[in-house]
Amino acid sequence: MKRIFSGIQPTGEIHIGNYLGAIQNWVSLIDDYDCIYCIVDYHAITIDFESHMMKSQIMETAIVNMGCGLDPERCSLFVQSHVPEHTELAWIFNCITPIGELERMTQFKDKSKQHRHNINIGLLNYPVLQAADILLYKAHFVPVGEDQFQHVELTREIARKFNRRFGEVFPEPQVLSPNTPRILGLDGKKKMSKSINNYLGLTEPEDEIWEKLRKAVTDEARKRRRDPGNPDRCNIFTIHGGFGSREDLEAIDRGCREATIGCVDHKRMLYEDMMAHLTPIRNRIRELRGNIDYVKEVLENGATRCKAIAVEVMDEVKAKTGLAR
């Protein structure tokens, strides 16, 4: 079985951008690949964070992912810092990665603007640690949203460079793109993100979800109900793509272009479809929140399995680089 690796940061509430851009895709892959999914706490500390919140955020991230369908019997789920080989390999990669490559990364530039008071070396090195995450397991595929494609491209470069210089160790991993690789926020402009309040949280109360959705931006050219709209320019339509049936979406597409369906009508349909999809997930999440010991056990087992793979690959890396004992 080919191997898959992906990661998510424990930085706050998981939103439907994460779900449609990543987690839903992860779940769909678990029976066809050897899937390893990681809660990347070392990545999360590259921006400001509250140390007293970290543990609960890690647990909540695990719970939501499991609730979405990451069944620990069929894939591995673990916490990055539980397997220290991630940072060990990142150090070696640091020494073959030019600073210029990292300064060019879009996410680094964006986050440097957002966190001017805290542009630390970890933030610059973030993609090197990500490359180590992926290559430590010799993963073949990396399912991520569009914002991460550039980091996977850098991972491929690092793999090539390492292999050229020290001998063949790493396969070049490829992106697995989801159906909806980029979900915009409710503002209809910026990427849906935890750091801006433009998201729909997976576990938010239903009335709050509806309130947020009701006010969300649609096709801005459609000022009145009788104006025809363009679903290609409507973020609500994109989001609906992740939850609605093909027939319904085709009917909505027509209704929007012919102005027979209004934006609020459409939002109501999206709301119904989304809640039908999310309710079983939200129920499982509620159950898991009451069963923390089980979640801890899942993460421990995940780390044990991943550690065994990581140690083996690190031995190979050390032998190739001349660092072996």
Would you name the residues annotated as active-site residues?
Answer: 111, 191, 194
Contacts to ligand AMP by CB under 6 A: 8-9, 17-18, 21-22, 144-145, 147-148, 181-183, 191-192
Nearer to ligand TRP, 144 or 154 (CB): 144
Nearest to 309 by CA among 65, 42, 69, 5: 5
Nearer to ligand AMP, 59 or 261 (CB): 59
On whether the CB atoms of residues 92 and 324 are closer than 8 A, the answer is: no
What is the nearest approach in angstroms of ligand AMP to the Cβ of residue 170? 21
Nearer to ligand TRP, 7 or 242 (CB): 7
Binding partner selected for residue 46 from ligand AMP, ligand TRP, none, CB under the kind-specific 5 to 8 Å limit: none
Candidate list 4, 6, 61, 83; residue touching ligand TRP; CB under 6 A: 6
- The answer to whether the Cα torsion of 256, 146, 23, 44 is positive or negative is negative
Choose one: 142-150, 191-199, 216-224, 278-286; the region binding ligand TRP (CB under 6 A): 142-150
What is the nearest approach in angstroms of ligand TRP to the Cβ of residue 26? 10
How far is the C-alpha of 133 from the C-alpha of 42, rounded, in Å? 11
Query: Contact between 41 and ligand TRP (CB under 6 A)?
Result: no
- In this structure, how many other beta carbons lie within 10 angstroms of the beta carbon of residue 304? 13
Beta-carbon contacts of residue 193 (< 8 Å; ≥ 6 apart): 15, 17, 185, 199
How far is the C-alpha of 49 from the C-alpha of 64, rounded, in Å? 20
Binding partner selected for residue 270 from ligand TRP, ligand AMP, none, CB under the kind-specific 5 to 8 Å limit: none
How far is the C-alpha of 115 from the C-alpha of 110, rounded, in Å? 9
How far is the C-alpha of 46 from the C-alpha of 205, rounded, in Å? 30
- Residue keyed to tokens 């938010």: 204
Task: Compose the 99-138 pattern: x for residues touching ligand TRP by CB under 6 A, - for all others.
Answer: -------------------------------x--xx----
For residue 230, the cross-strand partners are none
Binding partner selected for residue 5 from ligand AMP, ligand TRP, none, CB under the kind-specific 5 to 8 Å limit: ligand TRP
HSE of 174, CA atoms in CB hemisphere, 13 A: 4
Binding site for ligand TRP (CB under 6 A): 5-9, 40, 43, 130, 133-134, 142, 144, 148, 151
